[in-house]
Amino acid sequence: MNTFSLHLLPFVALISSFPNVVSVCSRNRPVIFNFGDSNSETGGFVAGLGLDVGYPYGRAFFRRPTGRASDGRLVIDFLCEYLDADYLSPYLDSLEPHFTNGVNFAICGAATLPKNVPFNLNIQILQFKRFHNRSIELHTKGKAKGSFGALTYAQVIEKIPSFISEIKDAMWAIYQLGGRNFWVHNTGPLGCLPRELAIRDNLNTNDFDEYGCIKSLNEGAKAFNAKLKALCQQLRSQMEKSTIVYVDVYSIKHNLIINSTFYGFKNPLMTCCGHGGAPYNFDPDFDKTCLGTGYTVCEKGTRYISWDGTHYTEAANAIVASKILSTHYSSPPLEFNFFCNSVGIS
């Protein structure tokens, strides 16, 4: 029976110098608080635990590793660029933290549940409270998340209410500290990640959809997303003077994968940095992953969606971010200049 072993990524924050896109926040830039996992962390894991992520991570833009789980910029980086703001510094960075435009609480492996996972959502909220108690008045955005863990599809469906409850509590905790603006991303098509496809050897043709993704994983993600959207609708009516934007990142990423050739990508289910070749180029043996030494990496400049089997490349992140900016996937479809002109503490 299929199991779920990926973290979810709901709650996010704000983006980039894309062609023909001009920053809308030249004067009043919102301050961003970001809560999440490795998909949006900007070096918290490295700073907090003293571990290192080596080259070729970071090669596409920074030209060096920065603790980001990609070859370059993440969606959160593009969001900051769009506001003409500095990239978010991780909360755990004790060397030269730069918190003038916000704080990044996201860290690799964090989850909503179980609560004993290091740096889970509860810990991130506690860190936020400590930061808030320094009497810093800020505007906000956020990024929450859940975790499927090693669960079957039936177990995931059963536990979704618990995930949603934890996210609800986190949003209320931020609201009670003055947070009024929330930017909430749902989770993407987990069944299309090369890692998830490669580690399962007990699947048959009926387990895959027409695009080669695992149906049960994607159905589980969509079930979670439906509850998350309903939560956002509920909280809009309960949190006075607040703005809660729900963004359908699932549709953005799924569209990118199924229409990969339109966007100039080949092999949408194959990693750039990994081992084993087609169809997925992912080997669960740590030494053969992009974090080990036995990997191979695609030629610099070639367009892949997946960087290391779980995280996206900078090229893919740029497209995802541009779709987010379009407002076509947002409910309500607010332009980002709304947050530039919004007044409040968060």
Point out the residues that are catalytic.
Answer: 38, 308, 311
> DSSP string spanning 261-317?
TTTT-S-TTSBSEESS-TTT----SGGGSTTSSS-EEPPTT---SBSSSSSB-HHHH
Tokens of 254: 């799924």
User: What count of other Cβ atoms lies within 10 Å of the Cβ of residue 262?
Assistant: 9
Q: What tokens were used for 277? A: 């070749």
**Burial of residue 55 (number of CB atoms within 10 Å: 0-12, 13-18, 19+):** exposed
CB proximity list for 150: less than 8 A, separation 6 or greater:
3, 4, 5
Tokens, residue 37: 């996992």
d(CA 333, CA 12): 16
- Nearest 10 degrees: Cα torsion 111, 114, 118, 121: 40
For the packed helices 314-325 and 75-82, what is the interaxial angle rounded to 10 degrees? 50
